[in-house]
A and B are shown apart, each in its own frame.
Chain A
Amino acid sequence: MEKTVDQKAWFLVLPVFLIVAFSAVLPLMTVVNYSVQDTFGNNQFFWNGVGWFKELLDPNTDLGERFLASVWRNLLFSAIILAIEVPLGIVVALSMPRQGWQVAACLVILALPLLIPWNVVGTIWQIFGRPDIGLLGYVLNEIGLNYNYVSNDLDAWFTVVLMDVWHWTSLVALLCYAGLKSIPDAYYQAAQIDGASRWAVFKAIQLPKMNRVLLIAVLLRFMDSFMIYTEPFVVTGGGPGNSTTFVSIELVKIALGQFDLGKAAALSLVYNLIILIVCWIFYTVMTNAGAERPAKGGIA
């Protein structure tokens, strides 16, 4: 069959080009534009080349020091919440009922924290942790622990981590539950026949069958916690001092607090790049894990 050339098809994809251009490409280019310029207000801009980027990555400058400190702080935060949320999510998923009305009840309860807007979550914990009127803060102080997230770094971290665990463990649990549900009964029956203990069943069947969903869970939780802004901003505002100033909080301080558009733009681009690289690593790992097809010319 002869293919007819019809340029009208371009009109059909034009809306997509326009939407993507205005929603993503143009704003991003604006940021790129800012990142290589300096301004002294009055809408006057001066070419600065890669100056902001050099400063950003040099720990001896003020900007570099603040940026790198917030990156390490944020990585530590992500590592802590992953170390808690992933095992906890697996345990929750394993202890969920398999059938009956209890399943629906559990799913609804688990989904609740996921449905709460982020600044509301922040507000909830901000009040919950207050030593004077918050249930958590008041009880901790009453039993003799000196807890105050406004003045103590460790307490602030404790509150922010606990809040994230409360907010997001459900997501990991729901993903793991879906992974567990997809394991055919025959696996459990075979394991029973093979005399496997509960632990051996977990190690040999459940964990390997969950590894795809776990990868997705880790990816989502890493991305999200590395970009976290609203909740810690509402609870601690990045303090005390800079102790809970994560990258995005630092970014907003520079961009809107100091109105240093050039520095903020450079930081945004590097921040974006870090996230892209991590995404790419996860994507590679996931596609490689999925490529385990039976080898050709197996056993006859």
Chain B
Amino acid sequence: MARIDLVDLAHSYSGNDAPPESFALKPVTMTWRQGGAYALLGPSGCGKTTLLNLISGIVTPSRGKILFDGIDITQATTQKRNIAQVFQFPVIYDTMTVGQNLAFPLKNRGVPAAEIAARVKQIADLLELTPYLDRKATRLTADAKQKISLGRGLVRSDVAAILFDEPLTVIDPELKWQLRSKLKALHRELDLTMIYVTHDQTEALTFADTVVVMHDGRVVQSGTPAELFEKPAHTFVGYFIGSPGMNIMPAQVRGREARIDGHTIVLNRNYDGLSSGSLIEIGVRPEFVDVVAPAPGLLSASIERIDDLGRIRFARVRVGDVKLAARVPPGFSPSGDAAAIVFDPAHVHVYADSLLVEGAA
């Protein structure tokens, strides 16, 4: 049970003298509150596993500090940190039974046998592993093995946080959902800090109350799923989260107006004072762009195709050189490929050099 603080933490696999741009993890300062369910989300190679391994102590950081409840544990070994980690591929000890696997971390720490037995029983009940306690762990299915990996973390009563490194990769799709709900239930029950690394946005958004999006070694945004959806702090977040991702298009923004393709869009906030040297883009999620019949005064677009997702239809449209995704309102059927699009001004965001700009009211 602990709050985890990262202070100016950075890591490079080629040493501290490597150029800052080559760092696998660029300096990050953030706090993981005790009892939180976090997801680290990002594409492969974005540094999320590096960050996880830094917290668990498998990798020692090039720079910065890690604090558990205010105590600096940057140089502490993995054993001393009291964290548990579930890996991408199930790690189980082949020669042991399920029960012995669960008891292993306690045995190594010299816990009395009676206490081990009680604790193993409790955790096995929690994970629904009790019927298999005396079976050889190698003979179980992948999801049961992942539960054992998780159980080896949970048996330790003093565990500060549980880290998950894409734990559902090898699990069958229909079991993924079950195991994820189990994790969520455990989190509510045990009040443990959980950090979950994944590149799957559905996993991240359903598991976590706070999603930390990483891109190219940097934390680009940390927030609730709703915040990430409604107000992406970085164009990457907008593009990476949501299906289809956010529409990002270059625009000229002045005051309360944005101009695209010679057409003016009214904005909800005032964006005076944008520095002229930076790349200005506007971003709007497809859910807030409607396809309508072409009419004078509207931004005209040509429809390339319509994807019917059952609940909702998205049109792929082209405005000038820019391709956009837009919602096709229920009941509307476009005639031909000529159409117009309408933005919901409340959900149009302005980005300068990929970062969100908060306009003035």
Interface residues of A, Cβ cutoff 8 Å to B: 184, 186-187, 189-190, 192-197, 200, 204-205, 207-209, 292-295, 298-300
Contact A186 B88 (CB under 8 A): yes
Complex Cα gap A182–B298 (Å): 63
B93–A292 contact, CB under 8 A? no
State whether A299 touches B132 (Cβ < 8 A): yes
Q: Residue B94 contacts which of A184, A195, A197, A209 (CB distance < 8 angstroms)?
A: A209
**Cβ 8 A contact of B138, one of A200, A205, A292:** A292
A299–B141 CB distance below 8 A: yes
Q: How far is the CA of A298 from the CA of B144 in the complex (A)?
A: 7
0/1 string, B34-68, CB within 8 A of A gives 1:
00000000000000000000001110000000000
Q: Which residues of B contact A (CB under 8 A)?
A: 56-58, 77-79, 83-85, 87-89, 91, 93-96, 104-105, 108-109, 128-129, 132, 136, 138-144, 147, 149, 152-153, 175, 178
Chain B CB count within 10 A is highest, among A189, A196, A292, A293, for A189
Residue of B with least CB distance to A299: B144
Asked if A200 contacts B108 (CB within 8 A), the reply is: yes
Query: Roughly how many angstroms separate A200 CA and B109 CA in the complex, as a whole number?
Result: 12
Determine the chain A residues whose CB is within 8 A of the CB of B140 once the complex forms.
294-295, 298-299
Taken together as a complex, chains A and B put the C-alpha atoms of A200 and B110 apart, in Å, by 13
Contact B147 A299 (CB under 8 A): yes
Kindly list chain A residues whose C-beta atoms are within 8 Å of the C-beta of B147. 299
* Contact present for B141 and A294 (CB under 8 Å): yes
Residue numbers in B under 8 Å from A194 (CB-CB) = 104-105, 108, 152
Known A204-B95, A208-B95, A299-B141; judge A196-B104 contact (CB<8 A).
Answer: yes
Residues in A with CB closer than 8 Å to B83 are 193
Compute how far the CA of A196 lies from the CA of B89 in the bound complex, rounded to whole angstroms. 19
A208 partner, pick from B91, B93, B109, B128, beta carbons under 8 A: B93
| Chain A to chain B contacts (Cβ below 8 Å), 8 pairs | A192-B57, A193-B153, A194-B152, A195-B79, A208-B94, A292-B138, A299-B132, A299-B143
Which residues of B are found within 8 Å of A200, using beta-carbon distances? 104, 108
Give the distance in Å from the alpha carbon of A92 to the alpha carbon of B87 in the complex. Answer: 30
Q: What is the bound-complex CA distance between A292 and B136, given in angstroms?
A: 10
Q: Which residues of A contact B95 (CB under 8 A)?
A: 204, 207-208
Whether A292 lies near B132 (C-beta < 8 A) is: no
By Cβ-Cβ distance, the 3 closest A-B pairs, closest first, are: A298-B141, A299-B144, A195-B108
Are B175 and A300 in touch, CB under 8 angstroms?
Answer: yes
Least Cβ distance of B121 to chain A in Å? 17
A192 to B144, CA, bound (A): 22
Inside 8 A of A187's CB, which chain B residues have their CB? 91
Given A205-B93, A292-B138, CB of A193 within 8 Å of CB of B84:
yes
- CA A298 – CA B92 in complex, angstroms? 16
Known: A189-B78, A298-B140. 8 other contacts (CB 8 A): A190-B85, A190-B152, A192-B77, A208-B94, A294-B141, A298-B139, A298-B141, A299-B140
A204 and B78 in contact (CB under 8 A), knowing A196-B108, A298-B140? no
B112 to chain A, nearest CB (A): 16
**B96 partner residues in chain A, CB cutoff 8 A:** 204
Cα A138 to Cα B147 in complex, Å, equals 63
- B144 neighbours in A (Cβ, 8 Å): 298-299
Q: Are A192 and B139 CB-contacts (below 8 A) given A186-B91, A200-B108, A300-B175? A: no
Q: State in angstroms the CA–CA spacing of A204 and B137 once bound together.
A: 12
Bound complex: CA A187 to CA B85 (Å) = 11
- Do residues A295 and B139 form an inter-chain contact, with CB atoms below 8 A? yes
* Shortest CB distance B143–A (Å): 7
Which residues of A are found within 8 Å of B108, using beta-carbon distances? 194-197, 200
Q: How far is the CA of A294 from the CA of B147 in the complex (A)?
A: 15
Task: With a 10 A CB-CB cut-off, give which of A184, A197, A294 has the most chain B CB atoms.
Answer: A294
**Alpha-carbon distance A285/B360, docked complex (angstroms):** 76
A294–B172 alpha-carbon span in the complex (Å): 14
A189 adjacent to B87 (CB under 8 Å): yes
Indicate if the CB atoms of B93 and A204 lie closer than 8 Å.
Answer: yes
Which chain A residues border B175 with CB–CB below 8 Å?
A: 300
